[in-house]
Amino acid sequence: MIEDAANPESIESAARMLAAGGIVAMPTETVYGLAADAGNDAAVAEVFAAKGRPADHPLIVHVADRAAALQFASDWPAFADRLAAAFWPGPLTLILPRRVNVASAAAANLPTIGLRCPSHPAAQALLAACARAGVAGLAAPSANPFGRISPTSAAHVAAEFGPDLLVLDGGNCEVGIESTIVDASRGAPVLLRPGQIGAADIEKAAGLPLRSRDQVESADPAAPGSLPSHYAPRAKLRLMNAKALQTALDLIGAELDSTDAQIAIYSRAVLKIRTAQVLQRRMPDDAAATAQQLFAVLREFDQRGARLIWVEAVPETAEWDGVRDRLERAAAA
């Protein structure tokens, strides 16, 4: 069932369910999460099962603040402190050395743990209510079946998991793509997943140069979360520049005659489309606005029966890193 996250009673009853080992979907500023008590390995196992997620893919633990984070992290380098001070609460996940025997299932038994303090007021309210009920952190992956598009509205979550799951409705997510992940467990910051908070912002706040995952790949034991194919719609997604898009449309236009829309296009360029069988959404010129709507647009294309999704390649500039990463993974599926 979907409940209004602005209702304090819904927050309280969700916290009670979580403290009793249940699962609840919660809004965050990035995407919706499927939450369980991070300290309850059995509840965490249910999250893995509900998502169909392999047990060796660690979950992010959401905490109310830095003090709560220190219940999970055993070591906290100075640059992690600077990053948390700059970006928490907000869409940044820090990978830190994990305290022994704490949140083992959530961390997939890795020696590290991913920690994030979300800024969404409903997530904050839920974490505060959980803390009062003795739950220090919520393990929450994105609330989608493994490998599929992350949900950015309560309706997206309900459509995937059915009416039995309690979904706290906090509206449409503002950021729209998952948090930036920085590994702070190796002495120097390493960018594991681009997001709204960009590489330059991280370097500035950390006071250290960011190393890329590739530069340290050999030292990376599990390389979790690095699957090339991810965030996939059902339809086959291709990335093309505007010129190639127009050429492809010109070539295929004459062939399309069925009654269903078969091709969906997401582009900044204005294209000449000669058939009604093409569904088109305009991509904003702005990276943040595109991130905010990206997953909802891909879901809509799927829902409307598109079999091919053609997306205009995004600019090579840094502010598009997060969107480009999600599109490239979707295209690799």
List of residues contacting ligand TXA (CB under 6 A): 28, 30-31, 33, 57-60, 91, 93, 95, 107, 110, 112-114, 116, 140-142, 178-179, 181, 192, 224-225
> Shortest Cβ contact with ligand TXA: which residue?
225
93 binds Mg ion (CB under 5 A): no
Contacts of 237 (CB under 8 A, 6+ apart): 298, 309, 310, 311, 327, 330, 331, 333
Q: Which is nearer to ligand TXA, 93 or 124 (CB)?
A: 93
Distance in Å, CB of 150 to Mg ion, minimum = 5
Tokens (6 digits) for 125: 């309210």
179 binds Mg ion (CB under 5 A): no
Q: Which is nearer to Mg ion, 98 or 329 (CB)?
A: 329
Distance in Å, CB of 247 to ligand TXA, minimum = 36
Rg over alpha carbons for the chain, rounded to the nearest Å, is 20
C-alpha 205, offset from chain centre: 22
The burial class, CB within 10 Å (0-12 / 13-18 / 19+), for 54 is exposed
Residue 165 contact partner, candidates Mg ion, ligand TXA, none, CB within 5 to 8 A by sort of partner: none
Question: How many amino acids of this chain bind Mg ion (CB under 5 A)?
Answer: 1
* Residue listed under structure tokens 């190393």: 211
Residue pair 203/119 in contact (Cβ under 8 Å)? The answer is no
DSSP type of residue 260:
S
Looking from the CA of 323 toward its CB, the CA atoms found within 13 Å total 29
Residue 29 contact partner, candidates ligand TXA, Mg ion, none, CB within 5 to 8 A by sort of partner: none
DSSP track, 171-185? -S-SS-SPPEEEE-S
Distance in Å, CB of 28 to ligand TXA, minimum = 5
* Residue 37 backbone class (left: φ over 0; alpha: ψ -120 to 50; beta: rest): beta
142 binds Mg ion (CB under 5 A): yes
Distance in Å, CB of 142 to ligand TXA, minimum = 4
Query: Phi and psi for 248 in degrees, rounded to 5?
Result: -65, -40
Residue 151 contact partner, candidates ligand TXA, Mg ion, none, CB within 5 to 8 A by sort of partner: none
Helices (H) and strands (E) in the chain, counts: 10, 15
152 binds Mg ion (CB under 5 A): no
Q: Which is nearer to Mg ion, 31 or 206 (CB)?
A: 31
Q: Which is nearer to ligand TXA, 115 or 314 (CB)?
A: 115
Going by DSSP bridges, is the β-strand pair 60-62/92-97 parallel, antiparallel, or unpaired? Answer: unpaired
User: What's the rounded Cα separation, in Å, for the pair 324 and 179?
Assistant: 14
Stretch that binds Mg ion, among 95-103, 134-142, 165-173, 189-197 (CB under 5 A): 134-142
Distance in Å, CB of 55 to Mg ion, minimum = 15
Q: Which is nearer to ligand TXA, 183 or 302 (CB)?
A: 183
Q: Which is nearer to ligand TXA, 159 or 269 (CB)?
A: 159
Query: Phi and psi for 19 in degrees, rounded to 5?
Result: -65, -25
Residue 59 contact partner, candidates ligand TXA, Mg ion, none, CB within 5 to 8 A by sort of partner: ligand TXA
Cis omega (within 30 of 0) on the bond before 89? Answer: yes
Residue 57 contact partner, candidates Mg ion, ligand TXA, none, CB within 5 to 8 A by sort of partner: ligand TXA
Other C-beta atoms closer than 10 Å to the C-beta of 62 total 28
* Segment (H or E) for 243: helix 242-253
Distance in Å, CB of 13 to ligand TXA, minimum = 21
Q: Which is nearer to ligand TXA, 131 or 244 (CB)?
A: 131
Distance in Å, CB of 218 to ligand TXA, minimum = 16
Residues that bind Mg ion (CB under 5 A): 142
